[in-house]
């Protein structure tokens, strides 16, 4: 693996004065994984002078931090000891580096793992007050390409919020008219009180919410030692799969296929319980819906259980219908969860991973690569820089405009070779007319 040499490390502060004070975080913010989410964007050089010049990138970041000023603050605590964001304007950490990698070599070798995260994303401190909230690294490659890596604190926002910030930053960098006038394409909303628990007797916990409780029995936890893969599906393969899953969304159909393949690759006994976890964006499902620019954590954990025998002995459409139970909750479910979290220690919920029989599926399909164009072309790839344990799958749009998908997956090291074989066999069957 090629090394990276750090060239500079500095703080980038907002280009203008920004609001100060404490920003209240909702129960969903506190219940999010306490840590940083590292992502990477790979850009191919277009040969133009000034391609990702550090001063231009810093300048656009400083202007983006005006609209997204909480990211220039620090994680803090209020007088009652509750975690909040202290809007101090101290800035985001900005690192430049260079590497002996060429972009094509890096992309062929890249999978989310600790080594790649350490190579392409700045080191972050313990994710506790008073830590910084945003870390950025621009790595210049031997071929002229660039990797833009970032780590954002999960207590501040979810993946959709992070994409909103990144796309706004990109629009500023490429000189869009609205951005040039100082306005974000979609105005961020920091009113986390929109997801506050209902007062007193109005609280109603209508669901069980097992995803936020300790397992009733000890689990065979998938450890931090995992193998990662990036697998692709063509538009034709996705279409053939959906034809076998009537009424299912693309995400549900794909996750159903991955669930079946994981059960088979893990050689789970028919009676073993396997649980499909997901994260559901509640912005549009609430009544009234959250503002389009809501910047915070607005996703909830959901799950559905089945036996491995049920998943494997039925057609893939059956698993897709089961997945519907984990992805169809409405606003009443979110309100019930927020009320439930009001009665527990939301800052110290169990976050120890999932059983080796389970799968956690997350959709990043709403993150358009073309909205991340900084003025030199859309990324050739974007994705997570790190997986946290085995059993994760991110479903994302593949690069290009052909409608394909990229699946970023982590499994136990001994399971991954068999999964890749089973998955390839399933794709081959899809292509049979």
Cβ neighbors of 153 (< 8 A, separation 6 or more) are: 35, 36, 37, 75, 127, 131, 133, 134
Pinpoint the alpha helices (H) of 90-215.
103-109, 114-120, 159-173, 177-180
Backbone angles phi, psi at 224, to 5 degrees: -75, -10
Helical ranges in 207-330 per DSSP H: 235-243, 250-265, 308-313, 316-327
* Neighbour tally for 65: CB within 10 Å: 25
CB 29 within 8 A of CB 81: no
**Cβ atoms within 10 Å of 224's Cβ, excluding its own:** 11
DSSP annotation of 49 reads T
Burial status of residue 192 (CB atoms within 10 A of its CB: 0-12, 13-18, 19 or more):
buried
- DSSP label at residue 291: P
CB-CB contact of 156 with 167 (8 Å): no
Closest to 32 in 3D by CA, of 362, 418, 310, 371: 362
Buried b (16+ CB within 10 A) or exposed e, 24-50: ebbbbbbbbebbbbbbbbbbbbeeeee
Sequence length of the chain is 433
C-alpha separations of 43 from 46, 107, 140, 382, 396 in Å: 9, 11, 10, 9, 17
Active site residues: 154, 373
Q: What is the Cα 385 distance to its own chain's centre?
A: 10
CB-based contact 164:269 (threshold 8 Å): no
């Amino acid at each position: 693996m090629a090394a990276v040499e750090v060239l500079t490390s500095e703080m980038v502060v907002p280009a203008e004065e920004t609001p100060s004070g404490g920003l209240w975080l909702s129960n969903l913010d506190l219940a999010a994984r306490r840590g940083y989410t590292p992502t990477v964007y790979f850009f191919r050089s277009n040969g133009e002078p000034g391609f990702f010049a550090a001063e231009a990138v810093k300048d656009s970041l400083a202007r983006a931090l005006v609209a997204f000023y909480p990211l220039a603050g620090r994680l803090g605590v209020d007088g009652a000891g509750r975690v909040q964001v202290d809007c101090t304007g101290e800035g985001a950490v900005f690192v430049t580096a260079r590497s002996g990698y060429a972009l094509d070599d890096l992309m062929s070798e890249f999978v989310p793992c600790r080594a790649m995260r350490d190579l392409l994303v700045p080191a972050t401190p313990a994710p506790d007050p008073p830590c910084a909230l945003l870390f950025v690294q621009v790595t210049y490659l031997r071929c002229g390409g660039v990797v833009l890596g970032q780590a954002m604190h999960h207590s501040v926002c979810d993946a959709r919020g992070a994409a909103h910030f990144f796309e706004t930053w990109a629009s500023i960098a490429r000189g869009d008219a609205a951005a040039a006038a100082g306005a974000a394409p979609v105005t961020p909303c920091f009113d986390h009180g929109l997801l506050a628990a209902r007062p007193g007797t109005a609280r109603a916990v209508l669901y069980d919410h097992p995803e936020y409780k300790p397992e009733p029995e000890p689990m065979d936890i998938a450890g931090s030692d995992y193998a990662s893969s990036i697998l692709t599906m063509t538009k034709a393969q996705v279409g053939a799969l959906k034809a076998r899953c009537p009424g299912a969304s693309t995400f549900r159909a794909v996750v159903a296929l991955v669930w079946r393949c994981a059960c088979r690759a893990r050689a789970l006994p028919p009676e073993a319980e396997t649980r499909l976890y997901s994260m559901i964006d509640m912005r549009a499902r609430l009544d009234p819906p959250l503002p389009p620019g809501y910047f915070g954590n607005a996703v909830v954990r959901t799950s559905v259980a089945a036996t491995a025998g049920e998943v494997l002995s039925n057609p893939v459409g059956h698993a897709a219908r089961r997945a519907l139970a984990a992805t169809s909750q409405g606003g009443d479910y979110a309100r019930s969860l927020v009320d439930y979290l009001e009665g527990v220690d939301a800052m110290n919920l169990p976050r120890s991973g999932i059983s080796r029989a389970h799968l956690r599926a997350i959709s990043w399909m709403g993150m358009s690569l073309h909205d991340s164009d900084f003025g030199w072309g859309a990324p050739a790839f974007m994705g997570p820089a790190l997986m946290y344990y085995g059993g994760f799958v991110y479903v994302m749009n593949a690069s290009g405009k052909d409608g394909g998908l990229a699946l970023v997956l982590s499994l136990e090291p001994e399971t991954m070779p068999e999964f890749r074989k089973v998955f390839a066999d399933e794709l081959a069957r899809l292509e049979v007319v």
